[in-house]
Structure 1
């Protein structure tokens, strides 16, 4: 097929999608659910590079969403597009800010269960910022650097000391280079639904978290009635304890009928 032919085919596909026609692959009987992973702030999809192969080795289809990190609405839309493309049921995973995103986007009909990894789980009508009220500000949250347009990032020292203090320095440096800055206003945007109210949930609490107070993580896990696993890990257990994180996701997959 020539480049021109491919472009024409892509244009036709886009037109069909816009008019409501979708080619959806049928889910084979007894197929495992897919896993869709939503990364948090100060990261991108590569943040899950150590967990994804462990899931794929079990024959699971995995999609890591690339959040624009421009707003809750934009990130939720990106998650929904990824969910739409799956052939059947989905286990939706969110880390940190990604927990807010899956709380909103997880109301999708294909989503069977939710996995929160050191993540926010707001109630309907609440924002990420409001969810943390009444708990101490975590050390790392005081080290954000804002640009002229209000996008927040973490300097390398904060990444190394507060975000991922239990990974090698070279790994933290790579995480600094690949991080996705987040629009600060996103933390004040309220979710309109709470998918955890209608979906079974799993929750990983990072006991050494310096980005979200561990007490807040425990309280959120209890509030949403999640099956909870606590790890002696930083804010990024998917980087420092990938096998344990994968095990929790696999448990959610196995529980999906």
Structure 2
């Protein structure tokens, strides 16, 4: 029985194309996102990320740390978008505490391909983190609201409420050097939350006194986040457990859900 040479060539070409497409698919799937942006929360600045920064940089990641004003959510989103736009390719956004609300909005930037929430707020459309905190009351009672519209944590209670597990000398310094945060930032209404369209990961701090761990769990479940829970971790879990948090960020960078 004779074979058709044209048919054979066509079949071979199809096989080669299928192989190339499969190879390209797997290369895209296995591509690691090397740009990571760390977004701090209220009352602190970006310096608390140093432990995680050091781990990621040693593993070859390009890490940026934002410094935003804490004066309004919109201004902070602009500040984070400025850093996102400076990246040379796709990036992972990592937000702590109020920084979670910031990445929930700035995560809509097309360069962002994944979101990592670290004991962070992840409000839905029409929600505010302040209202969510009322629905899931936190343990701390040390918030002081200034007459000028700026909030801060009572320095005497800061180590126990905010920075549990951090060395006392460092926690005391954080307390007296904290950045007051505009109360209006906590009442900003979220629109178009990025976690609805982009993959997310979540760190639940099981001993968090600033954000109720049950609220953190709700956020993670609602966003269908890949979630880890850290026993005994305070709100400063990113400082007290840098390797565990960094490992989750690395997992996110590989887009491994």
Describe the SS at the equivalent of 1:42. Answer: coil
Structure 1: gaps (5+ residues): 1-29
TM-score when scaled to structure 2?
0.84
Could you tell me whether the CA contact under 8 Å between 2:32 and 2:255 is conserved in 1? no
> Is residue 76 from structure 1 mapped to residue 91 from structure 2 by the alignment?
no
Distance 2:118 2:129 in 1: 15
1:167-246 map, 5 Å: 167-232=166-231, 233-246=233-246
Give the deviation of 1:178 after TM superposition: 3.5
Q: Point out the structure with max Rg over C-alpha.
A: 2
**Residue of structure 1 equivalent to 2:15:** none
Give the deviation of 1:49 after TM superposition: 1.2
Distance 1:182 1:157 in 2: 18
Distance 1:244 1:146 in 2: 34
Distance 1:64 1:104 in 2: 17
**Residue of structure 2 equivalent to 1:160:** 159
RMSD: 1.4
Could you tell me whether the CA contact under 8 Å between 1:156 and 1:172 is conserved in 2? no
Distance 1:157 1:88 in 2: 43
TM-score when scaled to structure 1?
0.84
1:1-257 map, 5 Å: 32-135=33-136, 137-140=137-140, 142-232=141-231, 233-255=233-255
Q: Which runs of 4+ in 1 moved over 4 A?
A: none
Structure 2: gaps (5+ residues): 1-30
Distance 2:147 2:130 in 1: 21
- How many residue pairs end up in the alignment? 225
**Residue of structure 2 equivalent to 1:12:** none
Give the deviation of 1:95 after TM superposition: 0.3
